[in-house]
Structure 1
Amino acid sequence: MTDLVRQEIMTAADTVVVKVGSRVLTREDGSLDDSRVAGVADQLARLRLDGRKVVLVSSGAVAAGIGRLGWKRRPTDLAELQAAAAVGQSRLIESYNKALAPHGLNAAQILLTAEDLQHRTRYLNTRNTLNALFRCGAIPIINENDTVAVDELQISFGDNDRLAALVTNLLRAPLMILLSDVEGVYDRNPSEPGAKLMSVITHLDAAESFAKDAVGPARIQLSRGGMGSKLRAARIAAAAGESVVIAAGRRPNVLLDILAGAKVGTLILAEGRTVASRKRWIGWSATPRGKLLLDAGAAKAVQANGKSLLAVGVRGVEGNFAKGDVVAICDQAGSEFARGLSNYSSTQMTTIAGQPTDRIAELLGHCPYDEVVHRDNLVVLT
């Protein structure tokens, strides 16, 4: 069954980012299932040969390594996790390449860390590489570089759901598809009687208040995600003007059915207008170096009206940042609602916070900018 909204979205999706979770690709014992990998690869090949640009963000390296090493469960030790990823990544990409070869396509492995997308030049280089791979007829297969990514150093994406959302924003892809081990987003825990699949979500705020994770197998832990992770990733893509589908990855021909407009999984509609590429980097890829706390009037002017931020509205400054760094823009309680590039350093901001614009030159000796953060360099997140 199809509907006009889905048909329109799927027809316009010339570039698609697909994320597949570990549980979709592995057997019950945690080993990589080549038949499931081949099933995903075959669908990607058909979409590519139909003229769509497709990118796959694939989990499964750690799980593949666990299976190859004969371990019974996912380790908690960081070094062992990274060792499993190192062993499993080659196994994973080998399986994809073997499945794509009969279609005349190559699997192009790309391993990223969060720093690659936080740094503006590396961010742009990643996009250029992906576009070159499209021209070469290859299918990019992206994974977090688990062998060097370290949560404690804050250079990890956290999970591949978020990585997929950042890649979606990087490419300005109209559609992101998250393939999971559940059918989509339910109005309650899927194991509870009467649980109903939500076909369409128009406002993520309401959905996040009651969407629950599915009850998964307790014998072996293979992944870090969950429905909460997927909804957070969906928020990143939807806020930038892209649509998202969450669906069951083990369903036969799930990608082909989704792109044909079938009512499969949960469709999360884009919220607002499409955000420009540079603002996507500011809002979701770069890491804020500090915070600006605003009074109620300034917060309303920025959040509701999209106005530039003036020094007079700043009530507090946190962190150590330089001119041109990304800063979090928060209300007086510290809740972040926007991000932007600061025209002043943290030291200068501490001096001029709360002051009218005509006093900046007096306090600093010069006034290079009337605005603390110009609206052209500002992104409202919520």
Structure 2
Amino acid sequence: MPSTELRQSVLSGAKRVVVKIGTQLLTLPKAEGGGINKAFINGLAKQIAGLREKGVEVTLVSSGAVGAGCVELEMTERPSDVAGLQAAAAIGQRRLMDLMHKAFEKHGISVAQILLTRTDFDDRTRYLNIRNCIRKLHEYGTLPILNENDTVSVDELRFGDNDMLAALTCNALRAQAVVLLTSVDGLLDEQMQVIDLVDDVDKFMNLTNDDEKTSWGSGGMGSKLEAARLVTDAGDVAVIASGREKSILLRLMDGEKLGTVLLPAKRKLASKQRWIALTKRPAGTLVVDEGAANALIVRKKSLLASGIVKVSGRFEKGDILAIKTEGGDEIARGLTNFDHEDLKLIAGKRSDQFEKILGRVTYAEVIHRDYLVMRNGAG
């Protein structure tokens, strides 16, 4: 299928889209006087209003709080200490939302701010609350604008960048596409030409042309590919394109050949599967032998303790575990029926031995097939 037709087939029918904009798009370079790029924000509002008129539901993920704060504080570079970053974010987030409100108000669109940390997606209840809140805002006709809560985030709470927040949001909403707008034209090959279509993200992970990453931002092309992989593995499409291109969103959704389109996997994961496989971070790892791996991949069976050769991490019953082969390849993730202490005692044992070992009646399976999701490409 020709590129344009393929783009149209995966994008033109999308009715729920997550759009992420980066810091460099929101701030002007020093050569142009610095400050917030109000023209970009106004243009973005016009495009999103146009998409809404076509029946496309847009959720916006916006970086730029720290950068906007630094501009307002007349800093020459991004703070290097946590308190400085948090203070700049607190100032910048208010400034950004003021500008967003004014820009979208011209089109009769109200805006809402949602600030999140990584652990909000790890917790199942909070994860569902996020999804429900965003859906309700859309029912009200309000544009949800999401950002990482930089004022409270520390390393273990961070997404790392808002590309990952956009991908997780896309999966939570079951949006058909995520569009990552940046300052470059797309994913570039070794000859610095834009790659049109990508059907396997792993093949291109070495092409992390991170030149667009600046002192104001925290992301780069590598983070965009990681985020895109989360979305495409779930069965939806990801796009990396230049936010500086005129009417980029409208033209992309019409199937025009712009940026890089990362094609979805053939499977499409259900909501619970997305949370298990692609959202909540694993609390531990199980290494399985060849027989157990074959049972999971080929025979579509549950994971039994007899095939487990190594247990790593500290976890409780109900946590998500990564399942790897002895060669180190991750093949699945799933919800465990045992905590780490019990699992270390029964690893390699038959289920009819569990009661004697643990002193109580237990589950026969370590991870039941209903709560196990194979990684894309592993079955």
Question: TM-score scaled by structure 2?
Answer: 0.94
Equivalence map 1:161-310=2 (5 Å): 161-188=163-190, 194-209=191-206, 211-216=207-212, 221-303=215-297, 305-310=299-304
Contact 1:15 1:53 in 2 (8 A): yes
Contact 2:210 2:222 in 1 (8 A): no
CA distances 1:231-252 after superposition (whole Å, capped 9, x unpaired): 0000000001110110001111
For 1:166 and 1:274, locate their aligned partners in 2 and report how far apart those are by CA, in whole Å: 15
User: What secondary structure is seen at the aligned counterpart in 1 of 2:17?
Assistant: strand
2:5 counterpart residue number = 4
Unmatched segments (≥5 aa) in structure 2:
none
Q: Which stretch shifts more, 52-61 or 301-310?
A: 301-310
Of the three residues 115, 127, 131, the one matched with 1:111 is: 115
For 2:300 and 2:355, locate their aligned partners in 1 and report how far apart those are by CA, in whole Å: 26
For 1:337 and 1:273, locate their aligned partners in 2 and report how far apart those are by CA, in whole Å: 15
Contact 1:246 1:267 in 2 (8 A): yes
Contact 1:31 1:66 in 2 (8 A): no
For 2:154 and 2:253, locate their aligned partners in 1 and report how far apart those are by CA, in whole Å: 36
CA distances 1:57-85 after superposition (whole Å, capped 9, x unpaired): 00111110000000001111111011110
CA distances 1:101-146 after superposition (whole Å, capped 9, x unpaired): 0111111111011111111111111111001011100111000000
For 2:14 and 2:300, locate their aligned partners in 1 and report how far apart those are by CA, in whole Å: 29
Of the three residues 314, 322, 329, the one matched with 2:316 is: 322
1:51 counterpart residue number = 55
Of the three residues 156, 159, 167, the one matched with 1:157 is: 159
User: What secondary structure is seen at the aligned counterpart in 2 of 1:161?
Assistant: helix
Unmatched segments (≥5 aa) in structure 1:
189-193
2:141 counterpart residue number = 137
For 2:298 and 2:189, locate their aligned partners in 1 and report how far apart those are by CA, in whole Å: 30
Q: Which stretch shifts more, 351-360 or 113-122?
A: 351-360
Contact 1:2 1:262 in 2 (8 A): no
User: What secondary structure is seen at the aligned counterpart in 2 of 1:103?
Assistant: coil
For 1:6 and 1:371, locate their aligned partners in 2 and report how far apart those are by CA, in whole Å: 43
1:24 partner letter = L
2:18 counterpart residue number = 17
1:124 counterpart residue number = 128
User: Cα offset for 1:305?
Assistant: 5.0
Contact 1:323 1:343 in 2 (8 A): yes
Contact 2:354 2:362 in 1 (8 A): no
Contact 1:240 1:272 in 2 (8 A): no
CA distances 1:183-215 after superposition (whole Å, capped 9, x unpaired): 111112xxxxx4321100111121223x13153
2:171 partner letter = N
For 2:336 and 2:124, locate their aligned partners in 1 and report how far apart those are by CA, in whole Å: 16
For 2:308 and 2:317, locate their aligned partners in 1 and report how far apart those are by CA, in whole Å: 16
Q: Which stretch shifts more, 172-181 or 326-335?
A: 326-335
User: What secondary structure is seen at the aligned counterpart in 2 of 1:140?
Assistant: strand
Contact 1:106 1:138 in 2 (8 A): yes
Contact 2:11 2:252 in 1 (8 A): yes
User: Cα offset for 1:334?
Assistant: 4.7
User: What secondary structure is seen at the aligned counterpart in 1 of 2:178?
Assistant: strand
For 1:277 and 1:304, locate their aligned partners in 2 and report how far apart those are by CA, in whole Å: 24
1:305–1:38 Cα change, 3 Å: farther
Contact 2:28 2:37 in 1 (8 A): yes
For 1:282 and 1:31, locate their aligned partners in 2 and report how far apart those are by CA, in whole Å: 41
Contact 1:182 1:214 in 2 (8 A): no
1:272–1:360 Cα change, 3 Å: farther
Contact 2:212 2:220 in 1 (8 A): no
2:303 partner letter = L
For 2:10 and 2:25, locate their aligned partners in 1 and report how far apart those are by CA, in whole Å: 25
1:243–1:360 Cα change, 3 Å: same
User: Cα offset for 1:171?
Assistant: 0.3
Root-mean-square deviation over aligned CA pairs: 1.7
Contact 1:2 1:261 in 2 (8 A): no
**Total equivalences in the alignment:** 372
For 2:319 and 2:117, locate their aligned partners in 1 and report how far apart those are by CA, in whole Å: 20
User: What secondary structure is seen at the aligned counterpart in 1 of 2:106?
Assistant: helix
2:101 counterpart residue number = 97
